[in-house]
Amino acid sequence: MPDDILICAADAIVDGGKGVRFALTAGGEDATGFVVRHGGKAFAYLNRCAHVPIELDWNEGDFFESSKLYLMCSTHGAIYVPETGQCAGGPCRGGRLRPIAVVERDQNIYWQPDDYVRPARA
Ligand code: FES
């Protein structure tokens, strides 16, 4: 797939462990995405809280809260379901993270740009 963009090696993310950030543009603005592993599968989202549009990870790559069941925004504690990005509690109520399509292939993880999330500026 010519549009796929390499994020990292598949074994760089483990269930409930640190996520990997990657640069992109969202609606034409510089932003980051992140990928985490949950239940053996990779899930990626735009790194932008549904409460206030800022990045979720205070410490780089820390997206899971302590139970490892939810993704959490470090600023005011919004929690999100890892599989869907749906808000599960906190000030993000009714909101959700913007998903980004990812594929795992040949021991690597790639993301796929769409109409909104596009490759980072060169
Ligand atoms: S900015 Fe994420 S919970 Fe407030």
Q: How far apart are CA 120 and CA 83, in angstroms?
A: 25
Q: Is 75 in the pocket of ligand 1 (CB under 6 A)?
A: yes
Residue 11: strand, helix, or coil = helix
Structural domain spans, the chain: 5-116
User: Which CATH topology does 5-116 take?
Assistant: Rieske Iron-sulfur Protein (2.102.10)
Q: How far apart are CA 56 and CA 58, in angstroms?
A: 6
Q: Is 93 in the pocket of ligand 1 (CB under 6 A)?
A: no
Over residues 16-54, the pLDDT tens digits come to: 999 999 999 999 999 999 999 999 999 999 999 999 999
pTM for the full model? 0.96
Q: Predicted confidence band at 122 (pLDDT cuts at 50, 70, 90)?
A: confident
**Nearest residue CA, atom 4 of ligand 1?**
76
Give the Å distance between the CA of 29 and the centre of ligand 1.
20
> CA neighbours within 13 Å on the CB side: how many for 59?
5
- pLDDT(1) > 80: no
